[in-house]
Amino acid sequence: MCGRSLTFRWLEYNAGLRPNSGHSPKEVMEGCYGGAEPPPHIEPQSRGDGPTLFTTRDMDTEFTNAGLTTRTRFGWRAAYLLASVGIYMVDQSSKAWAVRALRFGDERTIINGVLDFIYTENRGIAFGQLQGSGAFGRWFFVALAIAAAAAVLFYFLRTPRNDDRVLGACALLLAGIAGNLTDRARMGYVIDFIAVHAGSWHWPTFNVADASISIGALLLAYDLIFAGKKSKLSDR
């Protein structure tokens, strides 16, 4: 009977709608709160020569602030999700461009000896690994990507609003997973076209989604490893 219902019991006492049980509203309050001070939204109010009663203070304001807090938290996450959608659109647009401009062997040198655009079709996982897995591998990777996206989204929704590094990492991961998932579900392979190399060393060809996943994973790993260590040191 304590908590929110007690507030309305006080209102009923003030309005004369509840008969006196032999205990003043203050005694009722102290029974509920163990003799502690009344909640911040409760203040004593005297009604003529009668006993001191209690009424609510600024209840509408409190409900409004609670609504604003909920909207602010949702809006903050929505901004990260909007950025994730933007990265996803960049990934899909760049792949559509690669199909039109590079598919038939038209390679583009962006930085001589460092960066080239070369069209490739990746039927494995990120950076061209696990090729030749067939139809089973295609749908296995689709299911794996869906599970990974669901896990990241759950972690994203559970992350505190002020943890920008983790929220940003989750947004990058979601964008990258969704980008490659779209390719694999629609075509059975992922389009890669960014080739980075230095001399005889060549990094596996990748795309915008792969880069987004890599950066997001690094940020998340940094937070889990180094931020966790700092938290333990500060607790000592």
Range 193-197 average pLDDT: 95
The neighbour count for residue 229, using CB atoms within 10 Å, is 10
Is residue 83 over pLDDT 60?
yes
pLDDT one-digit tens code per residue, 101-145 = 999 888 999 999 899 999 999 887 655 555 555 666 778 889 999
Percent share of the chain, pLDDT over 70? 58
Q: What positions carry a catalytic annotation?
A: 192, 210
Q: Which of the 8 DSSP states describes residue 193?
A: E
Is there a contact between 10 and 25 (Cβ–Cβ < 8 Å)? yes
- Which pLDDT value is given to residue 10? 45
Token pair recorded at residue 7? 């507030």
Is residue 20 over pLDDT 80?
no
Is there a contact between 178 and 148 (Cβ–Cβ < 8 Å)? no
List Cα–Cα distances, 144 to 13, 131, 140, 153, 177, in angstroms.
Answer: 60, 16, 6, 14, 10
Those residues whose C-beta lies under 8 Å from the C-beta of residue 163, and which sit 6 or more positions away, are 223
Q: Which of 94, 217, 99, 97 is nearest to 155 (CA)?
A: 217
